[in-house]
Structure formats: structure tokens, C-alpha cells
Amino acid sequence: MIMKALVYHGPGKISWDEKPRPTVQEATDAIVRITTTTVCGSDLHILKGDVPEVAAGRILGHEAIGIVEEVGAGVQAFKKGDKVIVSCITSCAKCDFCRKAMYSHCRRGGWILGHSIDGTQADYARIPYADTSLHALPEGGDEEALVMLSDIIPTGFECGVLNGRVQPGDSVAIVGAGPVGLAALLTARLYSPSQLIVIDQDENRLTAAKSLGATRTINSADGQAAEKVSTLTGGMGADVVIEAVGLPATFELCQQLVAPGGRIANIGVHGKSATLHLETLWCRNVTLTTRLVDTATTPMLLKAVLSGLIDPKGLVSHRFPLADAMKAYDIFANAAREKALKLILTAH
Amino acid sequence: MIMKALVYHGPGKISWDEKPRPTVQEATDAIVRITTTTVCGSDLHILKGDVPEVAAGRILGHEAIGIVEEVGAGVQAFKKGDKVIVSCITSCAKCDFCRKAMYSHCRRGGWILGHSIDGTQADYARIPYADTSLHALPEGGDEEALVMLSDIIPTGFECGVLNGRVQPGDSVAIVGAGPVGLAALLTARLYSPSQLIVIDQDENRLTAAKSLGATRTINSADGQAAEKVSTLTGGMGADVVIEAVGLPATFELCQQLVAPGGRIANIGVHGKSATLHLETLWCRNVTLTTRLVDTATTPMLLKAVLSGLIDPKGLVSHRFPLADAMKAYDIFANAAREKALKLILTAH
Amino acid sequence: MIMKALVYHGPGKISWDEKPRPTVQEATDAIVRITTTTVCGSDLHILKGDVPEVAAGRILGHEAIGIVEEVGAGVQAFKKGDKVIVSCITSCAKCDFCRKAMYSHCRRGGWILGHSIDGTQADYARIPYADTSLHALPEGGDEEALVMLSDIIPTGFECGVLNGRVQPGDSVAIVGAGPVGLAALLTARLYSPSQLIVIDQDENRLTAAKSLGATRTINSADGQAAEKVSTLTGGMGADVVIEAVGLPATFELCQQLVAPGGRIANIGVHGKSATLHLETLWCRNVTLTTRLVDTATTPMLLKAVLSGLIDPKGLVSHRFPLADAMKAYDIFANAAREKALKLILTAH
Amino acid sequence: MIMKALVYHGPGKISWDEKPRPTVQEATDAIVRITTTTVCGSDLHILKGDVPEVAAGRILGHEAIGIVEEVGAGVQAFKKGDKVIVSCITSCAKCDFCRKAMYSHCRRGGWILGHSIDGTQADYARIPYADTSLHALPEGGDEEALVMLSDIIPTGFECGVLNGRVQPGDSVAIVGAGPVGLAALLTARLYSPSQLIVIDQDENRLTAAKSLGATRTINSADGQAAEKVSTLTGGMGADVVIEAVGLPATFELCQQLVAPGGRIANIGVHGKSATLHLETLWCRNVTLTTRLVDTATTPMLLKAVLSGLIDPKGLVSHRFPLADAMKAYDIFANAAREKALKLILTAH
């Protein structure tokens, strides 16, 4: 059977193509009919050719909500008709990494959707290890809010907030107010920091940050961000600094912002090495972390969304029919001009 | 009254001089007659001129055992005649950093001995905030072993082992087998790692490492250290990597050695920035820490030495009378040639 | 000089007496002129004779805000005229317990105010170890809100919330809606639990709990609390159960409420032993904690109040002039009838 | 096909019977030919009738080493001929509890072997969820040592040592020197406590404790154990107290032994409730834990055994052919008289 899907044909080339509908290949697979999906910054990276392991012909996308169409014989938790959130990380649940809840490094999964196997920007997707890679969508859950649990909300939370060990009363500085920085902002509030300072050069994004709970925003275009954070924190620096850009320059800024005893939590996808100022940091009792999202906290985050503690819907800026996926990519590629944050694609 | 002391007179210049005996200046001071002291790598850094904030005329040294000669009116825990270990870190106990057990950043203390005030390579030393900067030396304690609690043992333990979160069964790689690397080795064993791999280019030091409990040593001169650690760890890399050198190249090596989910704990004093390979580390769930020793664990380490769990005496390579301090500096400045680790200076 | 103070004269007997104004006795003392104080449940325990170590003649009270009148020579952080919060726990900062931030067990302090030395329900009070037993009251801070930082807010937070390890998304059940249970409720919200269930038999207090953020209240008079919590938590029980009463029966209820893997955090002051149902709990992976407040988190809680994250003013039910302290005790002794929570006593 | 097995026929009745050989029932099953097994204290509890949910006809036993005979279609990690350690806890890896590494409460597994399904004291056993309930036995591993990883070593470690948060330098008191207390003793040493005090009334077991690393043993028959521990710890009490008996009296003793700020970790299987002295403990900052072993640490413990950090072979007191299982039960039922610790049953 035939379906439509967003297909990568090599650097700079995608199209909305006909593809065969996926079928169950392993007993642990589920086939999901996609109802809502979205476009991620890493999809753009692939499109630029920055992720060479993605083969031409690959269906992109790793975030989605959908309805289970069919399950393999080994799937116990889901059945045809169940509404589910697709996790961007596939977890076999059985390998050494999965047993440590480090699903990002699962020896049979990890980030494979829209990467080493076909993804979710399609009418249907095959989800391996469905029992531990899907989450039941509760009755009445808002799809636009909950599709953010596929990737961006756990990414901001795990890589930024948990790794940064945000604690009540902390001062937190987030460098980068794109979707992932804003996801860190939303979820940092779960730990009640006393200051949530967001730094970017795009005024639209800083305005969004303000509306999502930043206690202060700083436009870093003037090169004064470090001084301003120092002033706001009484000369101490921020207890937690979250890097949500992925460039050497922003990573260096983070080192200037952090207080003695503080934490720098990197979320950004870096294409280049950066300079680490050990000549000043060696004696400052600083912790620096990196992480690919494990989506280990998705069940907790789902409770947080359902009980109203966080509202990821504020990240949505644009909405399209799934069939207009090409247009969505276009808008997202010009995010600053288009004031784009997260774009929702909905099947009809 | 006059005493003798090792005095810094600017880069490259030290001498064994007459100096006035220190006296109580604040109610919280103690004057300690030094019985045992030692020379630290940072003393050599000062001598080279790498620590410009040290003024000419300064008495060096921040490690010692001695006998309390006099105490100020506010000292409650010690009295004349008490035998004490001098901590290299002075803690007022009252500031915000001290209340977080981050004594290294004490607003009235921190590393001041032999740095911003006169130190311990002398007949007598003034110790501010004596109640919380000295530790009672238990009856019958071995001075040569216990003087290592002034600095090097807590440094290896706190900056390397605790920050690296060494756990039973872990594979640990220590880069650098100088005194501080060996202190990390000795104290890592408190947590029962299954592998303790020590890496250096000096065969004498690797031999010392072996005798102090390394399960494996690697001479990195051939540039194959990363491959060897990979093989020893079944391709995973080390759970914990401890940097105990302080150079860009060794810090880069650490990044090659670490397993996904692993920790890099920096102990080394770095004079230059280093390259951080975020282009590979961003998704490897790695934690990197820096720390100036807080000596917050000295009471525990004292128990560990007294109960025989660690024996720091194995770090001692040379012994001198205190009056031969100049000779000790000479030997220590040629540590490789002289096979020098820690040098004991004893008053007679 | 003479002042007025609330004096305990043995079980059942207190009066508003003339007493000599306290003076500096140790270099580390401060004398504080009390501007705001309050009455604690433990003051009533003393009055009943339940705390026999309190001698007749003792001035009661361990919570206050005031103005520093005089300091000893060793006090560094405060001077005459400074506005301060008095901590209910006195910390010498130097003993082994203080170095572990377990100030409640300070070998020279702990709970001594209004217990083993004179307290704060008076015109003036002597505060030993002032540098580490007082906190500067920030300009413009609300005294009624901030006097809650003397005891009740850190008690609810440290003994209930921190010991219970409340985490985002958790279900939390608080047994007892008196002032300390409500303090646990207010501060539990700092960690964003998804459910905050408060259980009591007093409808007024349950109403107060609702207004302070309880997601659900249960009147346990009908003996159905355990069933109701089970239903609310999908049969799991609560992740965290906080005991804020101090009776065998409420402690037993807590054991019925807790989920496998959950925590029971005791705050209640118990006069009797209780039954621990190890025959069911032994295999349920439960953690049970006790704690006397350390007030180690007061600096953080101060930031949380000032930034609006918690508003302890909601705990205030009655206000009196300090000179009417006897009347306040009367009201508080009939708390249920009088709908009393925390009573504010203000000097004029 | 027929095999032999130790079958429970109701309280007081077991026999060595012919039973049908188990076969694969689910795709995730493995059939294991047992080469080594042992008898656990809980097997005796079942025999006494204390575990009424065990049905007559049940094959007992939940500890074993064996060789995989057959696997279901869904088993990925094991194949016929693999040598394996059988975990006493069966983990589906997919339920909410398994995803939190709390396998003891696995919704499809947990303690089922020799409990709700047939066990390992037999020629063959069926192991559900084989991928995550078996562990590969490394080439050349000692079966007598490694069969202790089925249950007793992880039990002592997880319920006693990990839950008690044993840290370097700690004083640890273990109440009960039976097999599980000795397993806690062996594994506590992984964290280098400075004191390991073992308390029992059986001199043979205390002698065993001494040979396995106890720094001190106390025969509690004279009722002086609490005083002795107090003396040994300078009046503080033990930092960690491990209950390894399961009786109200020994649990009460634990409460007397614990230091302020200390932990009581219960391992014992309790048939009755116990008295908790909250009237003294409420203000002593104590943590009390219970746990059914999760066997989540088996991979680490396996590394610790293979690298020689712990040697569980010291727990073995008797050896029998598997066919003499009835005799082994007899000896174990009179453990004190027979000086029995762990009994090895080997297939020939």
C-alpha cells in the first residue's frame, strides 16, 4: 500500500513523495498512523548535509502523535486503535544502556527514527520496540501540547534542567531562546528557580521567553550579557547555565556566566570543538555536562503537562496540514524572519 | 623573636631566611610550631613566577603538622601543646561558601597560606580561623602519613575521586602519576573500582603507581593510550577519567578515554585553555568537573588513614631536616630525574 | 535594665513579667530588640509540661525578627541597627555536626532559645553565635512573612519536603493541616508535585490547605483516607507522605498511604512510640525519615519568599501587640475553635 | 520428558519428586538446565507455612547457575549452550517499576521463581523474560561464588549497603551474622567503612564474620550490645545499622545503635510489626529503609567478584549433589547446630 511522506534525497533536497506503507518487521514493532508531527532543528541539520549518515531516500521526522494501526506478536502494552506519543528515542529496554535509563545509547535503538530508519513525517511510521518507545496518550490529552513530549520538552528538561541540577532559589541563565531553550525555560520552572534569565539576539524570541516565564531577558548583541548577569546575581554569576545554541561563541559565553560551584548544562548540537577556559575554571568548582536526550522522564513530564504544571502549547507558532510539510520546512528554515518556534503538522 | 623560614623573593628566587616569629593577630588565630612540612607542586609554580599574586617576601608552604604554641581568645577547639594537622585551606566557617562546605572559596580564607599570607615552611606559622582550619592529630598518628592530609590526599580525593563519582566496579583511568595522581589512585580504592589504570610517560612513576594499587599502567609516550584503554574496557572507555597533569594535551587525552555516560574529573592546575571536543562529546552524556580542594573530607580521610584503609606514606620519596628546605626544592624541581614524589621536611 | 517577657513558671503557668534585659556574655553574642515574634506548637508543649528540661523562669519563644542592639567583639556579619531574622536553631558553625550542616545537633547550640536559654517572646533576646544564627532581613522584606523563616517554613521544607524528596510529578500526601503541615504544603510546591493531598479532621484547616495550594483535601474523620488516596493515585499510593501531627494513629495512617518505593517524612513531634508495620513494609522499598529542623536552607527559602515563589503570610491568622502575648497563648491553645494558625506578636 | 525436583506439598512437607520437564511457554522464556543451586532462608519460611501464597505442588528455589537448553523466539541475548546466572528476581524490563530499576515490583515478574511459578531446585527450570532475568556467566567464573549473585549478594548489597548509604570512613553495625548479614558484610567493604561491627548470639557465625572482614564482633546475648557499640564509636552510635534478622527485638536494637544523622537499613523478612521509638528518634535525623532486592546491581557485583573485590565463596559451608536436596534442607533447618551458612547443590 502507498502513503505520502517527506523524503530526504541528499543535501538540500527533500520532497513530498509516495512511499510504501511500512509493515511490521519484528514482533516488537508497531505501525502508527501519524495524526500530528512537527519539524525539529535536527531535521534542518540533516537537510543541510550536516548529518552524513542519513541516507538518501530516508523519511525524516522523529516526533509524532498517532494511532496504533497494527502491532507485532511481542507487543504487550499497545493494541490497534490506541492513541500514542512516539518518543524520538527508541529503547529496547534490555541492553546495558537501557538498564541504566540511558536510552539515548540503546544498543538496538537510540535516535534511529528519521535517521537510520524511516521517520514520522509521513502518513504511517514503523516504531521498533513499541512497548518502550511509545507512551499512551491519555483520554482528552491535547495533541499539540503532547507532541512536544516526543523530543523537545524532555530534551530541555533532561539535558538542561536535570543535568544542570536546577534547585529552588537558584539563578538560571539560558543561552539561546529557540525552541529547545524555551523548553528548558518551561521545565526549569518545575524546580522554582528564583531567577530565570534568557539570553538571545532575537527580540522576538526574547519576547516569547518573557511570556513563557523568564524573569529577565538579555539581548546579547551588545556583548554585555556577562556583565548584566553578574549584576543580576550580585556578582556571583548564575548557579546554572544552559547552553541551547551549539556554537563555540555561546559556549564560551556560558563559561563567563557561571558562578563558582555552578553547573553548565549543554543542550546544543555542536559541529565544532570549543575553547574551555581551564586556566580560570580549574579552581572554580564547576560542573559541565553533555547529553543526548534519553526521554527517560517522559512519564513524569506527561503528568506535569496533564496536571497543568507546564504548558508546551506556548511553543507552537505555526500550523499546517501534514501534506504541506514542504511549506513547513520552508518557514522553519527562515525561523527568525518568520518568528517560527515549533510548527505543527496535522493529518486530516 | 626570630625564626627561620623559606622565603620567596620573586621569580626564581627563594632563600632560607631569618624572619620574625608570627604572633596572634586575631582572636581566632593559632600559632603553630611546625614539626613536619612538605613541598607542593604549586610551590614550584610560585617559584617559576606563574602565580603573580604571591608577593616577594612571602614565606611559602601550605602543608604541615605542628604543635599549637598559642591561641587567640576566640579559639575553642585547640590549646597550647595540641598536635595538629594544618589544612591547606583556611575556612572561616561562617560565610556563604563555608556554609556550603566549599571552603576553597571562603570569603575570608581559602588558599591563603604561603599565598596571600605567610605559610608553613618555617619554624612557626600563624593559622587564621584555627578552630576550622586545623585538625587534631590523634595520639600516635604517623606524621609523615598525616601531613599528606594537609593537601594532597584531600585534593586527589575531592577533585578526582568524589567529583569523578567513582563507584564499585567502575573502570577508572588516571592521567598523570605525579603525587596528586597517586593521591587520587590511593583514595579511589576506597570505592573499589574494578580497574584502576594509570597513565604517564615516566616509568618510575608508573612503577610507583603499580605498587600503590594500579591494576594496570600505560606509558603514553607511544600515543596509544586511548586504544589501550579502549581494549582494557571492552571498547567502552573508562567510567571515570581523572586529569592530574594540567596541560591541554593531557586534557584532550581524557576526552578520548571517557565512556558514554562517564565523568572527567580535572585536578590539574591549568595555565592555558584547552580544546573541548563538543562535536563528539555533545551527545555522549559526559560530565566534566573542576575543583579547588575544599578539604571538607579531611575528618573522614583521617579516619581512613588511622584505620589503615589508605596509607599515604607510600607517597614519600625523600626526607630532609626542615633547615635543608632549599635542598628539597632543588630535588623537587628535578622530580623526574630524582624520582621524587613527596618530600618530608622535619624540624629537630 | 528592665524589659518585659513571657516567662514559663512550670507546667500550666506562664506570665508576662519584668526581667533584666539580656547583655552580651560571649564575644559571639548579639542582643536583638524583638520587633515581631510568634508562638509555636512546641511552646504549648512546654506549657503542658511535656518538655521537662525547660526550667521554671525561662523566657519562651524561638522565632523572631528584630533589630540588632549590640554585638560581641567576635561578631563579623552584623552590627547595631541591622534588621535580622532569628533562627530557631543556634549554630556554632565549628563542631562536627555544624560542618555537616546538621545544625540541629550543634554541640554548642541546636534548639536552645526558649528551651535551655531565654528566648524571643520578650523585648530583647540574646542570640549566641550570632554570625551563623541570624540572617540579614533584606530591605523592604515583609516581617510577617519572614518571621515564618525562623522555624516553621524551614521545618516543613527540610523535615517534610527535602527528606521526602518531593520531585516534579510526584503525588504527595500531607497528614495534618496545622501550621507545620501547611508549611510543608507551601514549600512542597517548589518542586511541582502533580498532586498535593492534605488530610485532616478539621474542616477549617482543610479550607486553609485548599487556599494554599492543596490539589485535594480529605477529611479523615470517616476512616476512609487510605482508600481515597489509593483511588486518587490509581491504586499506587502516594510517592511522598508527610506526617505533620505526631501521634501513633496518624503515623500508622502514613504507612497505609505510601506507594511502593515511596518515602514517609516525619515532621511531627512524637511523645510515644508507634507501630511500624514491617510485616508489610519490609518488601515495599520504603524510606522513612525523621529530622529536627537544621535551618540550613533558610538562605534559599529567603530567596524563595523574596522572589514570590512562596508566600508564608497565608499562614497568619491572628495579630497581637507583643504585650498581649498571654492572650495569644490563650487563642493558640484553642486553635481549632479559634481557627488559629500562626499568630503574629508585634512590638510597638 | 521427566526430571527430578524439590517439591513443596504444604506446610512441613517437601519431597524429591519426578515432574515434567518445563518447556518454553512464551517467546521470552528460556529453559535452563540447572548445574548449581542453593537453599535460601525464604525456602525454609515457605516450608514452615509462613508464605501461604505458595501452592502445594510448587517446585522451590530461586537461585541457580545453569546452561541454556532452549530459548523462545523473542530471546535475543542468550542461546542454547550459554552458561547463565539465574536472578531470583524476574524482570519484564518494560513496566513502570522496571523502568525505574525497581525490578522487585515488576508487574509481570518480581519474586516469582519457587513462589508463584516453579523454581530452580530441579534438573531444569523455565525462566520468563530471560533477556533481563539471566546474566551471562563469564568464561572460567567460579560457580560456587557466582551462584551467590542470584540472591544473597545483591540482597545484602542493595537492601543493606546501598540503602544504608555506606560511605568511606563510616562505622557500620550489622545485626545478624546469618548468610544475608554476611553478604552485607562482604559488600559493605566495597565502600571502605572504618568500622564493621557484626552482632549476633551465635559464636560460630561471629567467627565467620571475623574471617570475612568484621573489624569487631559482639555477642549480644548479654544485652550489652548497644553500650559496646556506643563505646566503639566514641558515644556517637553507628552511621549505618543493617538489620539482617527480621525480628522485633533485633529491629529495636538497631534503633539503639544508630547515630544522629544515621541510617537503619532493613534487610530482614519480618513476620510481625515492630515498635518504632519515635519519641526519641523524631529529632535524631534518622533514615530507615526497607527493600526487597531488585538485583539491579548484579552486573556491577559480577565485575566485583571477577576482579577479586569480593569473594562470596567464603559463605559456602556445605556441598551436596542436587539429588540430595532433601538432606540439604535438613542441615539448613538446623543451621546453628550444623554451622551452616550457604549450602551448594550441584548437578552431576
Instruction: Using CB atoms, pick whichever of D104, D275, D288 lies closest to residue C285.
Output: D104
Chain A contact for D260 (CB, 8 A cutoff)? no
Res. A348: pLDDT tops 80: no
List CB contacts (< 8 A) between B191 and chain D. 168, 190-192
Distance separating alpha carbons of residues A234 and A236, to the nearest angstrom? 6
C-alpha cell at position B329: 626544592
Residue D198 has φ and ψ, to the nearest 5°, of -115, 135
Per the listing, cell 525578627 goes with C65
Question: pLDDT digits over B30-70, tens only?
Answer: 999 999 999 999 999 999 998 999 999 999 999 999 999 99
Residue A230: band (very low, low, confident or very high) from pLDDT cuts 50, 70, 90:
very high
Chain B contact for D85 (CB, 8 A cutoff)? no
Q: Scanning every residue of chain C, which has its alpha carbon at the shortest distance from the alpha carbon of D247? A: C278
- Are D306 and B194 within 8 A, CB to CB? yes
- CB contacts < 8 A, A to B, total 114
List CB contacts (< 8 A) between C172 and chain A. none
Mode of pairing for the β-strands spanning D64-71 and D83-86: antiparallel
Per the listing, cell 491519555 goes with A138
Contact C58, C118 (CB under 8 A): yes
Question: pLDDT digits over A3-54, tens only?
Answer: 999 999 999 999 999 999 999 999 999 999 999 999 999 999 999 998 999 9
Q: Which of C124, C10, C112, C3 is nearest to C57 (CA)?
A: C10
Res. A72: pLDDT tops 90: yes
Q: What residues form DSSP beta bridges with A111?
A: none
Res. B319: pLDDT tops 90: yes
- Are B282 and A100 within 8 A, CB to CB? no
Instruction: Using CB atoms, pick whichever of B27, B77, B296 lies closest to residue C27.
Output: B27
Contact C266, C243 (CB under 8 A): yes
Q: In chain A, positions 109-168, which contact chain D (CB-CB < 8 Å)? A: 131-132
- Are A287 and B282 within 8 A, CB to CB? no
Distance separating alpha carbons of residues C91 and C294, to the nearest angstrom? 9
- Are A283 and B269 within 8 A, CB to CB? yes
Res. B114: pLDDT tops 80: yes
- Are A251 and B277 within 8 A, CB to CB? no
Q: Which of C99, C102, C134 should one mutate to test binding to chain B, selecting the residue with the greatest count of B CBs within 10 A?
A: C99
Per the listing, cell 508576662 goes with C16
Instruction: Using CB atoms, pick whichever of A104, A268, A285 lies closest to residue B290.
Output: A285
Entry pTM:
0.97
Q: What residues form DSSP beta bridges with C276?
A: D274
- Range from A249-253, A293-297, B136-140, D79-83 carrying the lowest mean pLDDT: B136-140
List CB contacts (< 8 A) between D240 and chain B. none
Hey, which bits of D138-188 come out as E strands? Answer: 171-175
pLDDT beneath 50, residues of chain D: none
Q: Which of B95, B158, B277, B283 should one mutate to test binding to chain A, selecting the residue with the greatest count of A CBs within 10 A?
A: B283
Q: Which of C262, C242, C69, C63 is nearest to C150 (CA)?
A: C63
Instruction: Specify the pLDDT at position C267.
Output: 98
Distance separating alpha carbons of residues C248 and C220, to the nearest angstrom? 15
Mean pLDDT of chain D: 97
Query: In b/e form, how buried is each residue of D107-124, taking b as 16+ CB within 10 angstroms?
Result: ebbbbbbbbebbbbbbbb
Classify residue A250 by its DSSP letter.
Answer: H
First vs last Cα of chain D: how many Å apart? Answer: 18
Instruction: Specify the pLDDT at position C279.
Output: 96
- Are A304 and C167 within 8 A, CB to CB? no
Instruction: Using CB atoms, pick whichever of D74, D101, D299 lies closest to residue A96.
Output: D299
Res. B289: pLDDT tops 80: yes
- Are C194 and A168 within 8 A, CB to CB? no
Residue ranges per domain, chain C? 2-151+294-346, 154-289
Number of H helices, E strands in chain A: 12, 17
List CB contacts (< 8 A) between D303 and chain B. 169, 194
Mean pLDDT of chain A: 97
Calculate the CA dihedral of residues A288, A293, A298, A300 and round it to 10 degrees.
-10
Mean pLDDT of B161-168: 98
Question: pLDDT digits over C300-315, tens only?
Answer: 999 999 999 999 999 9
pLDDT beneath 70, residues of chain C: none
Distance separating alpha carbons of residues C130 and B311, to the nearest angstrom? 41
Instruction: Specify the pLDDT at position C13.
Output: 97
Mean pLDDT of A211-215: 97
Q: Which residues lie below 8 Å from residue A5, measured CB to CB, with a gap of 6+?
A: A16, A17, A18, A19, A59, A118, A121, A122, A123
- Are D279 and C289 within 8 A, CB to CB? no
C-alpha cell at position C21: 534585659
Mode of pairing for the β-strands spanning D287-289 and C287-289: antiparallel
Q: Scanning every residue of chain C, which has its alpha carbon at the shortest distance from the alpha carbon of A195? A: C307
List CB contacts (< 8 A) between A195 and chain C. 307
Res. B348: pLDDT tops 80: no
Q: What amino acid is encoded at B192 in this protein?
A: S
C-alpha cell at position D274: 515492630
- Are B289 and A288 within 8 A, CB to CB? yes
Distance separating alpha carbons of residues D312 and D24, to the nearest angstrom? 32
| Nearest chain D Cα distance for residue B290, angstroms | 22
Contact C310, C187 (CB under 8 A): yes
| Nearest chain D Cα distance for residue C110, angstroms | 11
CATH code, residues C2-151+294-346: 3.90.180.10
Please tell me which chains touch A, using 3 or more CB pairs under 8 Å as the contact test.
B, C, D
Instruction: Using CB atoms, pick whichever of A261, A279, A285 lies closest to residue B273.
Output: A279
Q: SS3 letters for chain B?
A: CEEEEEEECCCCCEEEEEEECCCCCCCCCEEEEEEEEECCHHHHHHHHCCCCCCCCCCECCCCEEEEEEEECCCCCCCCCCCEEEECCCECCCCCHHHHCCCHHHCCCCECCECCCECCCCECEEEECCHHHCEEECCCCCCHHHHHHHCCHHHHHHHHHHHCCCCCCCCEEEEECCCHHHHHHHHHHHHHCCCEEEEEECCHHHHHHHHHCCCCEEEEHHHCCHHHHHHHHCCCCCEEEEEECCCCHHHHHHHHHHEEEEEEEEECCCCCCCEEECHHHHCCCCCEEECCCCCCCCHHHHHHHHHCCCCCHHHHEEEEEEHHHHHHHHHHHHCHHHHCCCEEEEECC
Res. B140: pLDDT tops 90: no
Instruction: Specify the pLDDT at position A149.
Output: 98
Residue A283: band (very low, low, confident or very high) from pLDDT cuts 50, 70, 90:
very high
Q: Which of D226, D268, D216 is nearest to D246 (CA)?
A: D268
CATH code, residues D154-289: 3.40.50.720
Mean pLDDT of chain B: 97
